[in-house]
Amino acid sequence: MDILIEDYRRLLNDLGEVYQRNIYQSLESDHRIIGIVGPRGIGKTTYILTYLKKNYFNNPQALYVSADDLYFSENKLLEVAREFIDRYDGRLLCIDEIHKYPNWGQELKNIFDKYKKLKIIFSGSSSIDLIREKYDLSRRAILKHMPGMSFREFLEIQTEQKFSIISLDEIVENGMNIATELASTPKLIGWFNEYLQIGYYPLFNTYNNHDDIYQALIGIIEKSIYIDIPSYYSIKSSTIPVFKKILNFIYSSSPSSINVNKIAKSLKKDHSDVTRYLEMLRDSGLLRFLLIDKTGHALMRNTEKVFLNNTNLFYAMEHELGKGMDKGAVRELFALTCLENSNLKPAYSKIGDLQCRNFLFEIGGRNKSTKQIREKKNSFLLLDDLLIGTEQRIPLYLLGFLY
């Protein structure tokens, strides 16, 4: 226990200035057990340590541990919780990387049930959302999902200016005026292109060049495939390389040409197996699906397009493989990511690229014509490399201010 406390205090003392994301406020809760979930590298650990430093810096009743610490190769979380309460009257236990701990669900449930005065914050992969039911944690824990950084947040860090969050209604109804005000920001389009390449993961602020950032992102992909997925699911070791092949196929294909049948045929794998692999990759934070706006269908039957999870992964794989990137896919993915991370529900559209609420959007470069959506009510172009736009032609980067 003493070595855990010493490591925790060292982490807090070493924690430098951290950009305060708006999402931090929404992650806080009075609930007794909270899970912070999201893909690798998204900033879950930084959030927890920032929360502790702000609220419990000199308070011995709070403790942070990482479940992948060697300490837990010989010790139990339940024992740590009991000793923490007996010796320090512990009130807050933060457990990072919970999915690395064997039988974590059962012990977490036991800690929650035995120690009524103890609040628990744990972090883990998005896949926890699937497996938490196993030990009836669904009645006890609430999950808070942490998305990657928005363009607005990236821009605040790079320019040291503050920018307001803008709703989708505001973008649609007043986008030209909003863009006119933002246009005074130096290098705005340049920063947007930079964000698409490296700005989604907070680690961009840690490295000095794109090459190092891309190497770190490839590392996130590799660890998700070779460490996380095998720890969540019962799969054969011979299956693991298939996940990388699926990612390579999706990276090198147009989203409109990607479906389960084509992937299964390309990899010479069973359709049901590929369906399951795609869902695993999505739940590990490596893929994102654009769904058809229907209900009552199995997930993959309701999936029209499959993308890598975010644009940074596209650029990282381009750096590694150099096969040539689909710029249209990057634009669509940026729009999809912004809308989903803002808790909106974009869906596939046969006429435009996607629809959200009662709005129809076609996405493209600045010279794209309105011909395809001209006759449709509440239809708009979301255009790349466009600084200001018009009433129906909206700069794509404005979606980066949704959260």
Domain extents for the chain? Answer: 2-145, 152-401
Report the alpha-carbon distance of residue 213 to residue 246 in Å, rounded.
Answer: 22
Give the amino acid at 97: E
DSSP assignment of 267-315, as one string? HT--HHHHHHHHHHHHHTTSEEEEEBS--SS-TGGGEEEEEESSHHHHH
Taking residue 318's Cβ as centre, other Cβ atoms within 10 Å add up to 18
pLDDT tens by residue, 96-152:
999 888 888 889 999 999 999 999 999 988 776 655 555 667 678 898 999 999 999
**Contact (Cβ atoms closer than 8 angstroms) between residue 346 and residue 340:** yes
Q: Read off the pLDDT band of 159 (50, 70, 90).
A: very high
Check residues 324 and 171 and name the one with the higher pLDDT: 171
Task: Give yes or no for a contact between 318 and 217, defined as CB atoms under 8 angstroms apart.
Answer: no
Query: Under a CB-based contact definition with an 8 Å cutoff, are residues 97 and 66 in contact?
Result: yes
Taking only the tens place, the pLDDT of each residue in 317-375 is 999 998 877 899 999 999 999 999 999 999 999 888 999 999 999 999 988 988 878 77
Q: Report the candidate in 43, 343, 385, 31 with the shortest Cα–Cα distance to residue 199.
A: 43
Q: What is the pLDDT of residues 375-388, one digit of tens each?
A: 789 999 999 999 99
Using a 10 angstrom Cβ sphere, with 0-12 exposed, 13-18 middle and 19 or more buried, the burial of residue 80 is buried
Q: What are the structure tokens assigned to 175, written together?
A: 């986008």
Residue 122 is given by DSSP the state E
Show contacts of 213-218: CB within 8 Å, 24+ apart. Answer: 213/312, 213/316, 214/315, 214/316, 214/319, 214/320, 216/41, 217/41, 217/312, 217/313, 217/316, 218/316, 218/317, 218/319, 218/320
The whole-model pTM stands at 0.91
Domain 2-145 annotated CATH 3.40.50.300: yes
Q: Out of 23-32, 162-171, 232-241, which region has the weakest mean confidence (pLDDT)?
A: 232-241
**pLDDT at res. 131:** 56
Cα–Cα–Cα angle for 390, 391, 394, nearest 5°? 65
**Res 139: pLDDT:** 78
DSSP letter at 97?
Answer: S
